[in-house]
């Protein structure tokens, strides 16, 4: 068994229970801070909708087809754990007019740093000279687990936030959809609208 496999086994042994606890704590934190968290996201979304409204009035932005919510690899490296929310027309990434904001659900990622610090300490007892770059791969894998929780949360709350923020007052394609995934990679549709309402 090579060193990488040993590290991954140790991560599975140690971080799987940590992940379960972290998600449970994040759910409890969301329940406790729900109003503040959703107000923050709603405020950012309302600002973006207003920006797009102005862009459309000036003829800079065509009818919207997609809202893409992307986890950013760079935010795992910088440890800001941000998601990009970006409106696109039917040309998707070829849309020439940028319309986005960044949001960091801090409540969801609170345990990542303490869990990784304890893991580094634990694995340091089992393997000689564990290097930062070796732990960084484990960190990315650990953080990826939280993206599923973020996607499920956004699937539940985004349709309401978008409606309240005035999405349907903008020029939209006949079918509009919200997708979640890693930036410029595979996305999953988490909401869809047709005829001025979410299905």
Is 134 contained in some domain?
Answer: yes
Confidence of residue 64 (pLDDT cuts 50, 70, 90): very high
How many C-alpha atoms does 66 have within 13 Å on its Cβ side?
A: 20
pLDDT confidence of residue 114: 95
Q: What is the mean pLDDT of residues 36-44?
A: 97
Residue span of the structural domain in which 155 resides: 3-193
How many independent structural domains does the chain possess?
1
- % of residues, the chain, pLDDT over 70: 100
Q: Is the pLDDT at 134 greater than 90, yes or no?
A: no
Is 199 contained in some domain?
Answer: no
pLDDT confidence of residue 85: 97
Is 86 contained in some domain?
Answer: yes
Mean predicted lDDT score pLDDT of the chain: 92
Question: Alpha-carbon distance 93 to 114, whole Å?
Answer: 36
Is 185 contained in some domain?
Answer: yes
Is 13 contained in some domain?
Answer: yes
Is 198 contained in some domain?
Answer: no
Residues ≥6 apart with Cβ < 8 Å to 141: 8, 11
Rg (the chain; Cα; Å): 19
Is 130 contained in some domain?
Answer: yes
Could you give the residue ranges of the DSSP H alpha helices within 58-105?
73-78
Helix, strand, coil in percent for the chain, rounding step 5: 60, 20, 20
pLDDT confidence of residue 81: 93
Question: Alpha-carbon distance 84 to 124, whole Å?
Answer: 35
Instruction: Give yes or no for a contact between 164 and 42, defined as CB atoms under 8 angstroms apart.
Output: yes
Across 22-36, 43-57, 65-79, 98-112, least confident range: 65-79
């Amino acid at each position: 068994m090579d060193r990488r496999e040993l590290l991954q086994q140790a991560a599975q042994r140690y971080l799987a229970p940590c992940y379960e606890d972290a998600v449970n704590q994040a759910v409890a934190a969301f329940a406790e801070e729900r109003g503040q968290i959703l107000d923050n996201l709603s405020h950012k979304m309302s600002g973006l909708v207003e920006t797009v409204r102005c862009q459309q009035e000036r003829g800079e932005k065509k009818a919207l087809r997609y809202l893409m919510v992307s986890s950013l690899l760079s935010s795992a490296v910088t440890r800001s754990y941000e998601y990009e929310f970006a409106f696109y027309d039917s040309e998707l990434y070829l849309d020439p007019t940028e319309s986005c904001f960044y949001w960091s659900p801090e409540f969801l990622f609170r345990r990542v740093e303490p869990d990784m610090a304890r893991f580094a300490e634990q694995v340091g007892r089992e393997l000689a000279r564990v290097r930062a770059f070796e732990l960084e791969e484990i960190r990315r894998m650990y953080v990826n687990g939280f993206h599923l929780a973020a996607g499920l949360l956004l699937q539940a709350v985004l349709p309401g936030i978008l409606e309240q923020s005035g999405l349907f007052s903008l020029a939209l394609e006949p079918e509009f959809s919200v997708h979640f995934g890693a930036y410029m990679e595979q996305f999953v549709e988490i909401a869809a609208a047709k005829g001025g309402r979410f299905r």
